[in-house]
């Protein structure tokens, strides 16, 4: 009845063995000589597509090593076994879909016979025939050239070598550079570029009036030293790292620890960690000798990948997906290459074979996703140490007081002890009896498997279902009145158990006990429990032991957050088991909470008799020792225990205990990081078309770099292969791409476009550099003289005359160089989305300058967070101070990011972003005009201007608004435009007091009439909507 299932085939896992039909022409019967017989055939039929120029399907037949390695589909030549050699089957066309060569003359039967014989004879490929090993000629793969800055005519313009390169090119075109921008423009440009904030009016004034030769340089240095420098340049790095505060995909759960790595980036950039070290720590910090917790934290760079926790998702699929992302992000960020194309096939344009892609992938394939405990911040650790010391002092004080009071309680204690001792004697007479069932058997549903442990407990394995019921059966002795359940920690369980959720919890929904006289439980009798207790009960809902005997599946006993420890619960029977005979007993442990809240290791026993008085273990032990035999410390411990019971000392004892409990917690958190997998390391295979279920089993790859770049070596005495080797290779002196790409990123940030304008593509499809000599000079200088120091590089660029040029577009360049590739002027750049917010708040006097810490929740229009899946996300607006933090601290929810950020082209953090788009849309205009945050900023800006003015002179107020927002003074015409607007607003609000109140909101300036205040809000809001305001000129 079944039809063939066409689509299923695409889901079939690749068969582990290649089965070829035996239709090959026979091998020729003679000894084959490679150079005479075989190489000419390859040359004639194959190497056009599989040679030095092109390597279709990642395969080349002009050198022995590559030929033997095979291509995207796996091994092509199996020496000694022509039947298993793909090459033969392709040329013999045994499969109509795979015929080589695809065009032109096919090989004759005799030629195939020669190849067959060659392979069967061992596929000998003598040395000296390894031709075609020359490098790819594309500019970006060539070593960094050594260029001397060229001679120029206009020497007086030159400040540093950058200018020589730029000017030389301009001079060949007969062009002159633009004049230096005026000082207000320069300081605003520098402040925005280096810190993303506006210069203060006083800073502008100081710079304008500073006539010393170091005036400019000292501004540069002040800004490079500013802690906000790390925020600004860190944000560029976060783009590349696809940093966000949530998992991504459907559930998109928050990542409350993500900010910790973001702060690491800010700190590292502020302390100018050299870029090579910065790279190594992020790619392989965990593998450094004696790795510090900060170095491990650095590896969170590659934990910014998405996590899919959607129900029913195959975790292996998304693990592989994350490794793809790590591979491709690494390629984009350090090499400027789109290695991603080679995930499915050998790159069509760039020298990256599919095999090489998986060589890179192999580095990440054995990086596991772990967490690592790290200090929240240096400041918090410092504070902690201080409060710890002061806490210790208060404890000592309280302890002293208690000791003093204890002097008078000796007699009372003696009486207490003698009563207690007589109770202990009693319990010895009817001691606690606890036994396992006889002929114990345990069964479960849902594919779980039980392993019996020597202590009588069972470890649960096999399937890990969402819910389960275990049944324990056996014979019971007589007279028991309590069922005891021990749940035990075990290393084999997630988070050591005792439950089977990833964090070690379980919910025992119901426990029942039935007895029967017959083994097959005909008409069993269900016994009733009347009491239940446990050593620990999860308190949030609550999850008490008695909830496991209430007959309701929804409730039950759970042990959060005391995971990884043993616990017990006891269930007391209303009536004890009959004392007369042995009965069959059946206990059901029903666990219906779902999400794998099931028991991982447990022990069932029955018990009766009196337990000893409920004493802490250590106290019970001390009491068992005769008074004379107790040590000083034991005596004191007993005394302290009793002090808590004795009314005269109880308050002091409790105070001490309460104080001890208040010991400050170390400010630490668990950060998501990468750690090397050591146990059962994964092998890496080429994946057919990038499908995680389709490894090409005869194409196993070892970690390695790209052949077209420098050879990768391992510094350790071991096989090549961990991320540390990769990281060191990326920043090795012989790899020209990393320094070129990195200086280009910096250049792009300071000029709007890079020297290579396709900052994300240094491959053959990208644009070549506009100033190749300058790029190489900068790159070489960066790694040699500057020892990878980012700040020094940035300083050099911003010090140049080229950077300082005016950004006014020149009429003489419009035709010759419309894109300003020659750099005869600076570029005007719209600031990035976060900075639009920052400078608006800054001008308004609202901005909080706090650096780092958990991400925050500024104003968000209603209905945005709700667009995320299942409305599982609540956006609770942060308190006063955190409401006005910089844009980069806004909590970034991947499936529902803040619209003010996204509308201004902030990347969505799903993939690495090397180069942001810069659009200019009506939705942006609507934000500036109407968004609540911006409207509030306008109110506050008016308050700032009106509150600080010394005279009620409109013109000077307008002038200070200009100076705050734009650093410069206005022209008369500009003042006039605003005076007109102000006048209109005064007229309108004079007649509309209610609207005036609404417009001013909570920012009414004392002593100013609300209608007047409103007129100013209406006028000043123009500033935050000016093109010039959100533009760095």
Partner 1 sequence: MFSLQQRIVQARREFLTTSASGLGLAALGAMLNADDATNQLTTKTPHFEPKAKNCIFLLQAGAPSQLDLFDPKPKLNELHGKPLPNEMLEKVRFAFIKKESAVLMGSSRKWTKHGECGMDFSDFLPNIATCADDILMIRSMFSEQFNHHPGQLLLSCGRGTFGLPTVGSWLTYGLGSESQNLPGYVVLTSGRGSSGGSSLWSSGFLPSHYAGVVFRNEGEPILNLTNPAGLPPEMQRGGLDAIRLLNESRYSEVHDPEIASRIASYELAFRMQSAAPELIDLQGESADTLSEYGIGRSQHPQATGRGNVANAHLSFARNCLLSRRMVERGVRFVNIIYEAWDQHSDLDQDLRYNSWVVDQPIAALLKDLKQRGLLDSTLVVWGSEFGRTPLGENRNGREANTGRDHHPFAFTLWMAGGGIRGGQVYGETDELGWGVTKDPVHINDLHATMLHLFGLDHMRLTHRKQGRDFRLTDVGGKVMTQWLA
Residues 610-639 vs partner 1: string with x where CB under 8 A? ------------------------------
Q: Which of 670, 641, 576 is nearest to 402 (CA)?
A: 641
Kindly tell me which residue out of 896, 945, 964, 967 binds partner 1, with binding defined by CB under 8 A.
896
Q: Which stretch binds partner 1 (CB under 8 A): 111-119, 662-670, 949-957, 967-975?
A: 967-975
Residues 1005-1024 vs partner 1: string with x where CB under 8 A? ---------x---xx-xx--
Count of residues touching partner 1 (by CB under 8 A): 120
Kindly tell me which residue out of 234, 600, 766, 887 binds partner 1, with binding defined by CB under 8 A.
766
Task: Return d(Cα 57, Cα 54) in angstroms, integer.
Answer: 9
CB of 907 to partner 1, least distance (A): 9
DSSP per-residue string spanning 271-324: TT--HHHHHHHHHHGGGSTT--HHHHHHGGGGG-S-----TT--HHHHHHHHHH
**204 to 263, contacts with partner 1 by CB under 8 A?**
248-250, 252
Q: Which stretch binds partner 1 (CB under 8 A): 280-288, 360-368, 524-532, 999-1007?
A: 999-1007
CB of 470 to partner 1, least distance (A): 13
Using the minimum distance from each CB to partner 1, give the nearer residue, 266 or 709. 709
State both tokens at 543. 């999850």
CB of 574 to partner 1, least distance (A): 29
Q: Which helix (H) or strand (E) holds 588?
A: strand 583-591
Give strand pairing partners of 607.
434, 482
Using the minimum distance from each CB to partner 1, give the nearer residue, 344 or 420. 344
Using the minimum distance from each CB to partner 1, give the nearer residue, 482 or 598. 598
Task: Return d(Cα 438, Cα 522) in angstroms, integer.
Answer: 19
Kindly tell me which residue out of 763, 772, 854, 887 binds partner 1, with binding defined by CB under 8 A.
763
Give strand pairing partners of 805.
180
**270 to 309, contacts with partner 1 by CB under 8 A?**
306, 308
Give strand pairing partners of 299.
none
Are 548 and 484 in contact by the 8 Å Cβ rule? The answer is: no
**103 to 162, contacts with partner 1 by CB under 8 A?**
none
Task: Return d(Cα 938, Cα 846) in angstroms, integer.
Answer: 10
Using the minimum distance from each CB to partner 1, give the nearer residue, 489 or 829. 829
Task: Return d(Cα 898, Cα 892) in angstroms, integer.
Answer: 7
Residue 76 CB-half CA count within 13 A: 24
Kindly tell me which residue out of 996, 1004, 1005, 1016 binds partner 1, with binding defined by CB under 8 A.
996
Using alpha carbons only, give the angle 890, 894, 895 rounded to the nearest 5 degrees: 125
Residues 432-461 vs partner 1: string with x where CB under 8 A? --------------xx--------------
Q: Where are the beta strands (DSSP E) in 174-228?
A: none
Task: Return d(Cα 524, Cα 1015) in angstroms, integer.
Answer: 86
Q: Which stretch binds partner 1 (CB under 8 A): 136-144, 162-170, 536-544, 890-898?
A: 890-898
Using the minimum distance from each CB to partner 1, give the nearer residue, 523 or 870. 870
Using alpha carbons only, give the angle 717, 325, 750 rounded to the nearest 5 degrees: 95
Task: Return d(Cα 375, Cα 294) in angstroms, integer.
Answer: 9
Using the minimum distance from each CB to partner 1, give the nearer residue, 721 or 858. 858
**793 to 822, contacts with partner 1 by CB under 8 A?**
807-809, 811, 814
CB of 510 to partner 1, least distance (A): 13
Kindly tell me which residue out of 785, 923, 952, 969 binds partner 1, with binding defined by CB under 8 A.
923
Task: Return d(Cα 249, Cα 307) in angstroms, integer.
Answer: 7
Kindly tell me which residue out of 178, 457, 735, 903 binds partner 1, with binding defined by CB under 8 A.
903
Kindly tell me which residue out of 612, 910, 956, 960 binds partner 1, with binding defined by CB under 8 A.
910
Q: Which of 978, 941, 940 is nearest to 959 (CA)?
A: 978
**812 to 871, contacts with partner 1 by CB under 8 A?**
814, 828, 830, 861-864, 866-871
Task: Return d(Cα 521, Cα 518) in angstroms, integer.
Answer: 5
Kindly tell me which residue out of 999, 1004, 1005, 1032 binds partner 1, with binding defined by CB under 8 A.
999
Q: Which residues of 674-702 are buried (b: 16+ CB within 10 A; e: fewer)?
A: bbbeeeeeeebbbbbebbeebbbbbbebe
Are 549 and 510 in contact by the 8 Å Cβ rule? The answer is: yes
C-beta atoms surrounding 882 within 10 Å: 17
Give strand pairing partners of 177.
none
Using the minimum distance from each CB to partner 1, give the nearer residue, 125 or 506. 506
Using the minimum distance from each CB to partner 1, give the nearer residue, 206 or 313. 313
Q: Which stretch binds partner 1 (CB under 8 A): 363-371, 479-487, 673-681, 755-763?
A: 755-763
Task: Return d(Cα 331, Cα 726) in angstroms, integer.
Answer: 11
**372 to 391, contacts with partner 1 by CB under 8 A?**
none
Using the minimum distance from each CB to partner 1, give the nearer residue, 141 or 571. 141
CB of 21 to partner 1, least distance (A): 23
**321 to 350, contacts with partner 1 by CB under 8 A?**
332, 338, 340-341, 344, 349-350
Give strand pairing partners of 608.
433
Are 94 and 21 in contact by the 8 Å Cβ rule? The answer is: yes
Q: Which of 1008, 908, 993 is nearest to 952 (CA)?
A: 1008
Give strand pairing partners of 673.
370
State both tokens at 808. 């006014």
Q: Which stretch binds partner 1 (CB under 8 A): 7-15, 664-672, 778-786, 791-799?
A: 7-15
Sign of torsion, CA 38 43 47 51?
Answer: positive
Are 955 and 975 in contact by the 8 Å Cβ rule? The answer is: yes
**463 to 522, contacts with partner 1 by CB under 8 A?**
465-468
CB of 965 to partner 1, least distance (A): 11
Q: Which stretch binds partner 1 (CB under 8 A): 198-206, 363-371, 773-781, 971-979?
A: 971-979
Kindly tell me which residue out of 895, 943, 965, 1004 binds partner 1, with binding defined by CB under 8 A.
895
Q: Strands 695-701 and 458-462: what pairing?
A: unpaired
Using the minimum distance from each CB to partner 1, give the nearer residue, 260 or 319. 319
Q: Which stretch binds partner 1 (CB under 8 A): 413-421, 777-785, 790-798, 973-981?
A: 973-981
Task: Return d(Cα 485, Cα 1010) in angstroms, integer.
Answer: 72
Kindly tell me which residue out of 197, 300, 846, 1000 binds partner 1, with binding defined by CB under 8 A.
1000
Kindly tell me which residue out of 403, 650, 949, 997 binds partner 1, with binding defined by CB under 8 A.
997
By CB under 8 A, is residue 1027 in contact with partner 1? yes
Task: Establish whether the linkage from the previous residue to 524 is cis, with ω within 30° of 0.
Answer: no
CB of 968 to partner 1, least distance (A): 11
State both tokens at 923. 């939705």
Q: Which stretch binds partner 1 (CB under 8 A): 102-110, 581-589, 605-613, 893-901?
A: 893-901
Task: Return d(Cα 215, Cα 190) in angstroms, integer.
Answer: 13
**552 to 611, contacts with partner 1 by CB under 8 A?**
592, 594
CB of 493 to partner 1, least distance (A): 18
Task: Return d(Cα 389, Cα 393) in angstroms, integer.
Answer: 6
Using the minimum distance from each CB to partner 1, give the nearer residue, 348 or 423. 348
Using the minimum distance from each CB to partner 1, give the nearer residue, 178 or 796. 178
**924 to 953, contacts with partner 1 by CB under 8 A?**
924-927, 929-932, 935, 938
Using the minimum distance from each CB to partner 1, give the nearer residue, 345 or 641. 345
């Amino acid at each position: 009845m079944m039809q063939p299932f066409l689509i299923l085939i695409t889901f079939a896992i690749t068969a582990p063995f290649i089965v070829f039909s035996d239709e090959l022409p026979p091998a020729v019967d003679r000894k084959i000589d490679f150079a005479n017989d075989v190489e000419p055939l390859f040359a004639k039929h194959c190497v056009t597509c599989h040679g030095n120029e092109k390597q279709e399907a990642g395969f080349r037949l002009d050198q022995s090593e590559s030929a033997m390695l095979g291509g995207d589909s796996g091994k092509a030549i199996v020496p000694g076994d022509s039947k298993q050699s793909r090459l033969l089957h392709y040329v013999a066309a045994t499969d109509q879909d795979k015929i080589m060569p695809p065009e032109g003359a096919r090989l004759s039967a005799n030629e195939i016979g020669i190849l067959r014989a060659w392979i069967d004879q061992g596929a000998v490929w003598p040395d000296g025939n390894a031709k075609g090993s020359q490098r790819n000629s594309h500019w970006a793969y060539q070593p960094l050239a050594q260029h001397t800055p060229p001679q120029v005519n206009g020497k007086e313009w030159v400040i540093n070598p950058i200018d020589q390169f730029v000017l030389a090119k301009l001079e060949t075109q007969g062009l002159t550079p633009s004049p230096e921008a005026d000082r207000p423009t320069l300081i605003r440009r520098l402040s925005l570029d280096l810190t993303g904030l506006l210069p203060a009016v006083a800073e502008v004034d100081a710079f304008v009036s500073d006539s010393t030769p170091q005036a400019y340089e000292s501004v540069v240095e002040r800004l490079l030293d500013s802690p906000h420098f790390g925020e600004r340049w860190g944000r560029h790095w976060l783009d590349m790292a696809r940093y966000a505060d949530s998992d991504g995909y459907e559930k998109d759960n928050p990542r409350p620890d993500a900010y910790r790595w973001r702060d690491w980036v800010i700190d590292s950039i502020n302390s100018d960690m050299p870029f090579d070290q910065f790279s190594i720590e992020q790619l392989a910090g965990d593998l450094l000798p004696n790795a510090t917790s900060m170095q491990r934290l650095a590896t969170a760079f590659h934990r910014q990948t998405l996590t899919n926790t959607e129900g029913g998702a195959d975790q292996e699929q998304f693990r592989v997906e994350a490794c793809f992302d790590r591979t491709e992000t690494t390629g984009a960020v350090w090499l400027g290459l789109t290695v991603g194309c080679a995930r499915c096939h050998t790159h069509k344009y760039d020298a990256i074979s599919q095999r090489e892609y998986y060589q890179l992938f192999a580095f990440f394939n054995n990086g596991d996703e772990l967490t690592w405990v790290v200090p929240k911040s240096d400041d918090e650790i410092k504070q902690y140490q201080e409060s710890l010391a002061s806490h210790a002092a208060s404890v000592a004080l309280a302890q002293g007081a208690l000791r003093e009071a204890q002097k008078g309680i000796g007699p009372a204690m003696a009486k207490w002890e003698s009563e207690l001792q007589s109770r202990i004697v009693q319990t010895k007479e009817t001691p606690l009896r606890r036994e396992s069932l006889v002929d114990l058997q345990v069964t479960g549903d849902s594919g779980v498997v039980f392993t019996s442990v020597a202590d009588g407990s069972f470890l649960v394995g096999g399937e890990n279902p969402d819910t389960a019921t275990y049944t324990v059966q056996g014979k019971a002795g007589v007279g028991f009145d309590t069922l005891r359940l021990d749940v035990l920690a075990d290393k084999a369980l997630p988070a050591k158990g005792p439950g089977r959720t990833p964090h070690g919890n379980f919910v025992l929904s119901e426990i029942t006990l039935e007895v029967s006289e017959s083994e097959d439980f005909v008409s069993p009798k269900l016994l009733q429990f009347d009491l239940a207790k446990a050593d620990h009960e999860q308190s949030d809902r609550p999850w008490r032991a008695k909830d496991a005997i209430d007959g309701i599946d929804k409730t039950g006993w759970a042990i959060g957050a005391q995971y990884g420890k043993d616990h017990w619960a006891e269930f007391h029977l209303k009536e004890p088991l009959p004392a007369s005979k042995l009965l069959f007993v059946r206990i059901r442990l029903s666990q219906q909470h779902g999400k794998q809240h099931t028991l991982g290791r447990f022990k069932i026993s029955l018990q009766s008799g009196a337990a000893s008085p409920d004493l802490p273990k250590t106290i019970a032990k001390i009491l068992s020792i005769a008074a004379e035999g107790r040590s000083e410390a034991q005596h004191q411990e007993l005394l302290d225990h009793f002090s808590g019971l004795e009314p005269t000392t109880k308050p002091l004892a409790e105070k001490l205990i309460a104080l001890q409990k208040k010991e400050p917690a170390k400010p630490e958190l668990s950060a998501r990081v990468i750690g090397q997998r050591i146990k059962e390391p994964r092998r890496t295979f080429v994946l057919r078309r990038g499908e995680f279920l389709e490894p090409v089993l005869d194409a196993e790859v070892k970690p390695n770099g790209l052949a077209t770049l420098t050879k990768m070596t391992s510094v350790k005495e071991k096989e090549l292969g961990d991320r540390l080797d990769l990281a060191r290779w990326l920043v090795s002196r012989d790899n020209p791409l990393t320094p070129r790409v990195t200086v280009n990123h910096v250049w792009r940030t300071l000029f709007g476009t890079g020297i290579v304008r396709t900052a994300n593509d240094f491959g053959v499809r990208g644009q070549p550099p506009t100033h190749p000599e300058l790029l190489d000079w900068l790159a070489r200088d960066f790694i040699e003289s500057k020892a990878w120091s980012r700040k020094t590089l940035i300083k050099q660029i911003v010090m140049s005359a080229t950077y300082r040029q005016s950004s006014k577009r020149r009429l003489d360049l419009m035709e010759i160089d419309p894109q300003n590739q020659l750099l005869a002027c600076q570029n005007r750049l719209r600031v990035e989305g976060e900075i639009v917010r920052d400078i608006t708040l800054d001008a308004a006097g609202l901005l909080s300058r706090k650096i780092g810490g958990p991400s925050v929740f500024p104003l968000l229009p209603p209905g945005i967070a709700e667009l995320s899946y299942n409305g599982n996300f609540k956006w609770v607006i942060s308190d006063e101070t955190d409401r006005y933090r910089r844009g980069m601290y806004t909590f970034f929810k991947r499936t529902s990011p803040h619209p003010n950020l996204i509308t201004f082209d902030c990347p969505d953090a799903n993939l690495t972003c090397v180069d942001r788009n810069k659009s200019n849309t009506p939705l942006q205009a609507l934000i500036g005009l109407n968004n609540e945050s911006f409207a509030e900023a306008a109110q506050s800006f008016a308050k700032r201007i009106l509150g600080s003015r010394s005279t009620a002179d409109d013109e000077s107020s307008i002038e200070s608004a200009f100076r705050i927002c734009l650093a410069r003074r206005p022209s008369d015409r500009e003042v006039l435009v605003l005076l007109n607007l102000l006048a209109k607003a005064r007229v309108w609000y004079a007649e509309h007091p209610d609207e005036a109140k609404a417009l001013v909101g909570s920012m009414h300036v004392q002593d100013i009439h609300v209608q007047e205040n409103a007129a100013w809000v209406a006028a000043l809001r123009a500033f935050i909507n000016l093109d010039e305001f959100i533009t760095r000129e």
